[in-house]
Structure 1
Amino acid sequence: MVPARGADAVFTGADLVVDTLVRLGAEKVFNIVGLGMLGLGRAFLNRRNEIGYVGHLNETNLSLMAQGYARQTGKPTFCIVYHSSGTALAMMSLTTAWADNVPMVLVSTTGARMTSGRDQYAATPRSLTEMSTQYSKWTYDITTPERIPEILARAWEIASTPPMGPVHISIPSDLYDVELSGPLPREDFSRLQCYSDPCAEEAGLAAAAALLRDAQRPVLLCGSEVGRLRTVEEMVALAEALGAPVISEQDPSFLGFPTSHPQYVGTPAANKALLQEADAALAIGYEFTEKGDFGEKPILPSSARLVTLSADPMLLAKQLWPDLALLGHPGPSLRRLAELLEAQPVAADAKARHLGRCAAQREIRAAAVAEAEAMPGDQSPLPQKKLLREVYGRCGKDWIVIQAGSTLGWHVDTMYEFDDPLNFHAVSGKASAQGWGAPAAMGIQMGAPDRRVVALLGDGNLMFSATCIWGAAQHDLPVVFIVNNNQGWLCVPDGMDAVYGTSTESAARDAMAWTWGGAPIDYTGFARSLGLEAERVTTADELGASLEKAKASNRPWLIEVIGE
């Protein structure tokens, strides 16, 4: 409950910021206080019992934590940073929030209005929001304290309306200390009734149903939007009505379909033949992210009929040229599409053929899992497939899994099954950001305090943002960080060798800084120095024992795995 203020009360612009966030329902705010925003720091200090305050060591880690929190809760999250340098450090988080449609509001404190354009302390040449324009749904520079409630409330709504995404606001530092008196210029925050679940047009849905019903080899392409907008049940109902194979994005940020379901067959890379023989495809909120490699082939053959469905009008045709584009929220649209297929069902023999194609692909996945399971538990260095099966066996289907290992990521889809696809988080191929994993995992843990989070990290990924794990100890977050220590960016030379048929020698890898050159990096010692429990393991058996200790302790842990 926001405290009432008398007619003679004196308050500041900083009070308005905190008051607005509380009234909007923000449970946490992420902020690093700089010298030009001491008034805001004081306001948060005075109101710390009304809104959770998360500070950190640098703005990159802080903003990635904020993004993780927004991912898990699905609610807009405010991250407030300082001037040009703080904004620049937060830009990686803004670009990934744009790519993965995360509802984050970045607020930059800019120079005081009286020194604007004079290159004074922590100078800004023009507007700080110019940094982010191409990655933001909306940007705005606040110039008077009275508009703070309105602008922050609008930022909240814009960020959270599908297609969700980041908003960037700037506030001059002097506004934090401007004194106002009388009743606060509060807005009626409950007045806005937002309806953002429009169903795609009936005629288009009927045409899509007819195309899928008559197809000989249809596929369903389930994009991250399905998971992000929490429409998994509707996706499953449609898949079961059709019987077709379900394929995720190649590098999904969210999963929209249970990977344990008998119709789930994996990623495009694992289903090239199945995709090339498809005669019809329905892509739901699907990013056809290409890497731009020389000779890269399209995911679908030119002969396939393509239907796209998304709440984002840009996603319908920005990457491929569809035959039919359906604009609508996937929840009601998929529900209605399933109803149409149930009213006029797919022929029994056709559905049986579709399910047979699914079963054949599932057998390939099962064989790969069986091969990994058969590996000895004392093998060292620990194979990545065996590492993932050990984590799956110990943490199972109840933990939230953060995938942030480049080479580990090649195996997660097959080796780790999800009954609940919302237990999976990653940064997409479109976002492509190293260092994302550990801070995002901490934000996700904050957003799910009654759950457990395990972060699967490459050693290179952790090196980008290693200091962030201090926050896990600071906030007593029971995240388990599993670091696959293979001594470098092996995805780079291994990928190069695979593409060009070469065999890069160890000395050359060291010289190019693709490996650490045998440096005795002590991840466990570093983690312990920041207040975490930590152990180094070399085999699956040792990893299992460490995971049991981490589970029992309910404290932040780092387990360094000497792996492939």
Structure 2
Amino acid sequence: MGKQDSVAVAPPRDRRTINGADLVVEALLEVGAEKVFSIIGLGMLGLGRAFYDRRDEIGYVGHLNETNLTMMAQGYARQTGKPTFCFVYHASGTALSMMSMTTAWADNVPMVFVSTSSARSTIGRDQYAGIPRSPIEMSSQFTKWSHDISAAERIPEILARAWEIASTVPMGPVHISIPSDLYDVEVATHLARKSLKDTQRFVETAPDNAGTAEVARLLANAEYPVLLCGSEVGNLKVWKEMVALAEATGAPVICEQDPSYLGFPTSHAQYIGTPASNADVLAEADLAIAVGYEFTEKGIPGEAPILPASVKLVTVSSDPLLHGKQLRPDVALQGHLAKSLPLLAQEIQKVPATQKTMKARAAVCHAKREARAAAIAEADAMSRDLSPIPQKRVLRELCDKAEKDWIVVQAGSTLGWHLESMYEFDDPTNFHAVSGKASAQGWGAPAALGIQLGEPDRRVLAVLGDGNFMFSATCIWSAAQQDLPAIFVVNNNSGWVCVPDAIDAAYDRETDGPGRDAMAWTWGEAEIDYVGFARSFGLEARRVATSSELGDALEEAKQSNRAWLIEVCGV
């Protein structure tokens, strides 16, 4: 071969130096990240090389698209409580991850999104995968902090700061951008060996004595108090402190209408359900103590007030933006719930209610619990041979067959109306959903996979509507690729039935079948083969037409340590 025909070969990189991509991995290891979620594309090849070279030190999770990838990462962050890093591709990858950013904002999930942006030499030229300005502008409404990194040497500093901000209560997402050329910029020094894990954090603030004493005084004078338990209680995993507070008051406990986390055991004697099923209790209440509670309005015609105007309101939260957001409280207690709830319970015990008052509060709880038990008994009495399977019967079968330590992910619009009342949770941290504030179809299946990654020794049971599943169905590839034993139960009622049903209810009409098909609210004549689809990805799968068959399929899945999809012929 002549000299003019020789092929130029890049010289090997000097291992005594380190480049921007290596600094990324070093920073993630230093802050304590155990997994990283990423999809590598052009402009990110150096980062892909760095993750590949150190894949034995940090778990790498890839996927087919950034929407599913980042929702998996969100599930992982929700379960572990640690910030999760997601590295996404330029404009398109950032745009595809926006749904996860919005839900992380809504549900206070600690995440760090890192967008690769244009090389510094081409910014503003509408170059390949162009971003006119900065990718962090795309998410600015939903993040706690954002930053464009301008020099490779600053990568460790900024990523460590992002981790800290995302994980500080109230938790939430952070968005960072890194110009693509920084991954290959070499620097002379490595990251200083001062791990963020060594930092002692003293950040759990608490309300003052005057505030807790005032709440205790209001409670002592209340005849019909209620406790409103919000998702923040579950998010911060302080449900035992919430139980202690509830037992000190004796008051009935109502959870958010669409909680992202449960903060109270649904099997507890004081738990009575959601606002929708307890309008009578709220109408009689003279005091509401709302703990980390979102009064999320839906904004639909004829929507009833969240609380009667006559009810005195106390709010307790670590989030300064929660007080007075939707309703103006009479008293607002600011502080981390891990500190606030015990202090409040202690103050209440100093001025205990009379025995007569406690009996009256217990009677309200008992009556509601009796009604709840009767509804469950009615569902349990349904024939197990009915087909299609009634929704309440589906949920009772799941509750009966699931192990107590299984984690349930709720992402079925119509099934979700009944899950809280039909499925008992002794441990409320075994429940995950997307809140009404977030409202994101397609969230359930990928989030369940991320939760399973965060809790590999337990089973995750994802309860999905077929519309919700169709939105992100390709995510189940990761169940086989990552060998995750999640169980997906898909309620097949042939469409987004919640949409026309809601239209009919709101406007007192009845949309017909052909019209629903024409509007793409239902699938029409399409015979979607969910079982075949799941098997093509390597999952075990089965279609069931009766509650009895569902029970058999769940038992079979229980004996297996593989991913399963069970298609339910439901209504």
When the two structures are superposed, what TM-score results if normalisation uses the length of structure 2?
0.96
1:93 aligns with 2:89: no
CA contact (8 A) 1:278 1:300 kept: no
Deviates more, 1:547-556 or 1:493-502: 493-502
Match of 1:170 in 2: 177
Match for 2:334 among 324, 327, 338?
327
For 2:112 and 2:176, how far apart are their aligned partners in 1? 7
1:472 aligns with 2:479: yes
Match of 1:557 in 2: 564
What is the DSSP-based 3-state SS (H/G/I as helix, E as strand, rest coil) of the residue aligned with 1:314? coil
Task: Using the TM superposition, give the Cα deviation of residue 186 of structure 1 relative to its aligned residue in structure 2, in angstroms.
Answer: 5.3
**What is the 5 A alignment of 1:129-148?**
129-148=136-155
Q: Map Cα deviations across residues 152-184 of structure 1 (whole Å, 9 max, x no partner).
A: 000001000010000000000001011123444
Match of 2:118 in 1: 111
> Runs of 5+ in structure 2 lacking a partner?
1-13
Match for 1:17 among 6, 14, 24?
24
Task: Using the TM superposition, give the Cα deviation of residue 187 of structure 1 relative to its aligned residue in structure 2, in angstroms.
Answer: 4.9
What is the DSSP-based 3-state SS (H/G/I as helix, E as strand, rest coil) of the residue aligned with 1:316? coil
CA contact (8 A) 2:31 2:195 kept: no
For 2:191 and 2:476, how far apart are their aligned partners in 1? 39
Match for 1:216 among 204, 215, 223?
223
Match of 1:356 in 2: 363
Q: Map Cα deviations across residues 192-216 of structure 1 (whole Å, 9 max, x no partner).
A: 3322211111101110111112100
Task: Using the TM superposition, give the Cα deviation of residue 188 of structure 1 relative to its aligned residue in structure 2, in angstroms.
Answer: 4.7
> Runs of 5+ in structure 1 lacking a partner?
1-6
Task: Using the TM superposition, give the Cα deviation of residue 249 of structure 1 relative to its aligned residue in structure 2, in angstroms.
Answer: 0.3
Match of 2:253 in 1: 246
Match for 2:463 among 446, 449, 456?
456
Task: Using the TM superposition, give the Cα deviation of residue 299 of structure 1 relative to its aligned residue in structure 2, in angstroms.
Answer: 2.1
CA contact (8 A) 2:23 2:190 kept: no
Deviates more, 1:509-518 or 1:56-65: 509-518
**What is the 5 A alignment of 1:133-282?**
133-185=140-192, 187-190=194-197, 192-282=199-289
CA contact (8 A) 1:107 1:169 kept: yes
CA contact (8 A) 2:156 2:191 kept: no
For 2:189 and 2:348, how far apart are their aligned partners in 1? 61
CA contact (8 A) 1:259 1:421 kept: yes
Match for 1:67 among 67, 74, 77?
74
What is the DSSP-based 3-state SS (H/G/I as helix, E as strand, rest coil) of the residue aligned with 1:115? coil
CA contact (8 A) 2:497 2:522 kept: yes
Match of 1:289 in 2: 296
Match of 2:51 in 1: 44
Match for 2:438 among 431, 434, 439?
431
CA contact (8 A) 2:500 2:516 kept: yes
Summarize the Cα distance change of 1:187–1:120 in structure 2 as closer, same or farther, 3 Å threshold. farther
Matched pairs, number:
558
Match of 2:505 in 1: 498
For 1:269 and 1:407, how far apart are their aligned partners in 2? 15
Task: Using the TM superposition, give the Cα deviation of residue 190 of structure 1 relative to its aligned residue in structure 2, in angstroms.
Answer: 4.5
Deviates more, 1:459-468 or 1:495-504: 495-504
Match of 1:4 in 2: none
For 1:16 and 1:194, how far apart are their aligned partners in 2? 25
Match of 2:8 in 1: none
Match of 1:3 in 2: none
For 2:375 and 2:268, how far apart are their aligned partners in 1? 17
Match of 2:346 in 1: 339
Task: Using the TM superposition, give the Cα deviation of residue 120 of structure 1 relative to its aligned residue in structure 2, in angstroms.
Answer: 1.4
For 2:453 and 2:198, how far apart are their aligned partners in 1? 29
For 1:514 and 1:410, how far apart are their aligned partners in 2? 19
Identity %: 67
Q: Map Cα deviations across residues 475-530 of structure 1 (whole Å, 9 max, x no partner).
A: 01000000000001111111122222222211111111110012110000000001
Q: Residue type matched to 1:109 in 2?
A: T
Q: Map Cα deviations across residues 421-443 of structure 1 (whole Å, 9 max, x no partner).
A: 00000000000000000000000
What is the DSSP-based 3-state SS (H/G/I as helix, E as strand, rest coil) of the residue aligned with 2:206? coil
For 2:324 and 2:226, how far apart are their aligned partners in 1? 18
CA contact (8 A) 1:18 1:43 kept: yes
Q: Residue type matched to 1:462 in 2?
A: F
**What is the 5 A alignment of 1:404-553?**
404-553=411-560
Structure 1 stretches of 4+ with a deviation exceeding 2 A read: 181-194
For 2:425 and 2:489, how far apart are their aligned partners in 1? 19
For 2:190 and 2:98, how far apart are their aligned partners in 1? 37
Task: Using the TM superposition, give the Cα deviation of residue 364 of structure 1 relative to its aligned residue in structure 2, in angstroms.
Answer: 1.2
For 2:145 and 2:421, how far apart are their aligned partners in 1? 38
CA contact (8 A) 1:279 1:304 kept: yes
Match of 2:6 in 1: none
Summarize the Cα distance change of 1:191–1:533 in structure 2 as closer, same or farther, 3 Å threshold. closer
For 1:299 and 1:549, how far apart are their aligned partners in 2? 44
Summarize the Cα distance change of 1:530–1:430 in structure 2 as closer, same or farther, 3 Å threshold. same
Q: Residue type matched to 1:154 in 2?
A: R
What is the DSSP-based 3-state SS (H/G/I as helix, E as strand, rest coil) of the residue aligned with 1:72? helix
**How big is the alpha-carbon RMSD for the aligned residues of Structure 1 and Structure 2?**
1.1
Match of 2:307 in 1: 300
Match of 1:27 in 2: 34
Match for 1:389 among 381, 392, 396?
396
Match for 1:400 among 382, 403, 407?
407
Q: Residue type matched to 2:172 in 1?
A: G
Q: Map Cα deviations across residues 274-314 of structure 1 (whole Å, 9 max, x no partner).
A: 10111000000000001001111112110000000100000
Q: Residue type matched to 2:547 in 1?
A: A
For 1:127 and 1:255, how far apart are their aligned partners in 2? 37
Q: Map Cα deviations across residues 36-82 of structure 1 (whole Å, 9 max, x no partner).
A: 10000000000001000000000000000000000000000000001
Q: Residue type matched to 2:459 in 1?
A: R
For 1:188 and 1:10, how far apart are their aligned partners in 2? 21
CA contact (8 A) 2:91 2:131 kept: yes
Summarize the Cα distance change of 1:376–1:8 in structure 2 as closer, same or farther, 3 Å threshold. closer
What is the DSSP-based 3-state SS (H/G/I as helix, E as strand, rest coil) of the residue aligned with 1:197? coil
For 1:264 and 1:465, how far apart are their aligned partners in 2? 34
For 2:46 and 2:52, how far apart are their aligned partners in 1? 10
Q: Map Cα deviations across residues 508-561 of structure 1 (whole Å, 9 max, x no partner).
A: 111111100121100000000011000000100000111111111110000000
Match of 2:11 in 1: none
